[in-house]
Structure formats: structure tokens, C-alpha cells
Amino acid sequence: MNLFRLDASIRIDGSVSRGVADSVEAAWRGDQPHPAVLRRDLGAAPLPAGAWADAVTGGHLPAEQRTAPQTEALALAAELADEVLAADAYLLAVPLYNFGVPQHVKTWVDLLMTDPRLRPGSGQPLAGRPAALVVVRGGGYGPGTPREGWDHGTPWLRRIFGDVFGLDLHEVEAELTLAEVNPAMEALRGQAAQSLRDAHSTAQDHGRTLADRVRTPVG
């Protein structure tokens, strides 16, 4: 049972997305003595921002005509794809930054899509594999809120992981995570605490679901 875990928060200590992802991982581990977890921490170790352009341009050239950066970028894309393809289940923890997907997550996805095995139209080698998607938002973006519709990250994540890669997504969401540190959000602290409790509970459920799905594949 191999779990691929992606973290994207630029915070290490006190990161809500990491904490909720820990609940998923703990439930996934269960009583496994030595579960395999492959980690890619984009927040602590971002990928080179220019690697995607080098991989795209290099991918259209014969190997002998590629520059050193193009060759390195294509090797990096293959390494990232190898990590994803080797997993049985996925834990993807992605905070909402500036109303969208973190730049380093977009770079990771873009590089994956330069690899021939994961390129759109490649046949979806990941289709049906279970994944927990942890989404954390500092504010509130639900129906009726002043910023309803401002979350441009979560729909994109669903499209990429669910539709493009074909993963069986199980979502965990926590909102209002800035309430504890933002005086203007003081009145929302009770809702924030409830949202976090609910997220950890759902995370545990999804962690067990991922483990059950790997032990007993669908189909």
C-alpha cells in the first residue's frame, strides 16, 4: 500500500492544511506496521518556476538538440510522474492562496502534464485510484457570503485531479482559518473552530476509505 502525499502550504508549523492532512494519513495508516508514504513538499521545496517552459520546448526536440536546462526539466518531469504513478492512493493538501491555486502547485501539475504518460489524451493511467483532496481557505466562500465565487482554486483542482487524471476524489474542506489571527474576523471564530473539527473528522473518514479502497479495489 503506497500513499503519495503532496503538501503545498508555505507554512510548516501551524499549517492547517498539513494538520488536516496528518489526520488523513493517520487514519490511512491504521494498524499497518510499515506503511509506505512518498512525500513531495512543494511548500518547503518548490520546483523551479522555469522548468515547465524548458520541458515543453525540450519535449519537441530530439535529445541531442536539447539544452542542458531542457534535459534537466524533462528528467524532473519524469521523476515527478514516476512518483505519482507508483502510488496506490493520494493525499493532496492544497491551501487557497490569493483566490487561486498556489503557484508551486500549478508548476507541479504543468510538469506532470509534459510527461507522455500523464499528458491529456494519454489514457488516464491513474483513473479510479482513490485520493483525498484537502482544501483549506482562510476566509469564507460559501453561498451567500460576500466572496461567494471568489474561490478559483478548488474548481480547478477538481477538474485536474478528477477529470484530467481520473482520480476518485474524496474532499475535505476547512474555512475561516484566518479567524484566530485576524481581529476583523473575531465574530467568526466559533464557525472557524467548528469547520476545523468537521474537517478533521471527515479527514479521518477519508483516510480509512483510501485504505479500504486499496485493500479491496473497485471492479
Q: Map out the domains of the chain with their CATH numbers.
A: 2-215 (3.40.50.360)
One-letter amino acid at 126 equals L
Q: Encode pLDDT of 58-81 as tens digits.
A: 999 999 999 999 999 999 999 999
Say how far apart CA 32 and CA 201 lie, in whole Å. Answer: 20
Q: Encode pLDDT of 117-151 as tens digits.
A: 999 888 899 999 999 999 999 999 999 999 999 99
One-letter amino acid at 11 equals R
Say whether 3 sits in a helix, a strand or coil: strand
In the prediction, which pLDDT does 32 show?
77
Say how far apart CA 98 and CA 177 lie, in whole Å. Answer: 14
Say if CB 21 and CB 106 are below 8 A apart.
Answer: no
Say if CB 29 and CB 18 are below 8 A apart.
Answer: no
Say whether 150 sits in a helix, a strand or coil: coil
In the prediction, which pLDDT does 218 show?
62
Q: What is the mean pLDDT of residues 72-97?
A: 98
Say if CB 54 and CB 73 are below 8 A apart.
Answer: yes
In the prediction, which pLDDT does 36 show?
87
